[in-house]
Structure 1
C-alpha cells in the first residue's frame, strides 16, 4: 500500500515532520510520501491562506 500525504502549505520542514509522523504510524511495508506545493502560503492561518493554498494544490 502507498500513502501520499499532501501538506497544503509551502513549509518544507513541516512537510518533513508530517511525513515522519505518517511513516511512524504506518504499518510495516506501507510506503509513505509527503509533498508540499512550490507556491502558496508558508502556513495556513485563516480563510485567506486556505484560499491562497488551493492554486498550489491544483
Structure 2
C-alpha cells in the first residue's frame, strides 16, 4: 500500500504547538480592511487554536 500523503492545503494553514494543539490564523484580514476597526484588525493578526471538535479531522489531514 502506498504512503499516506499530507494534504498540502492543511500544512500551509495549520501548525502544531509544543503541547500538540493546532494553531490557525484568522480569516477576513486580507482585503477590504478600510471598513474594519483597528481593534478588529489587530485581533485578526493574532493566531488562535482550532476547536477541540475539529482537532481529529485536522490532525488526520496533517497525518500526525
What TM-score does the superposition give when structure 1 sets the normalisation length? 0.25
Which protein has the larger Cα radius of gyration, Structure 1 or Structure 2?
2
TM-score, normalised to structure 2's length? 0.23
Q: Which has the higher helix share?
A: 1
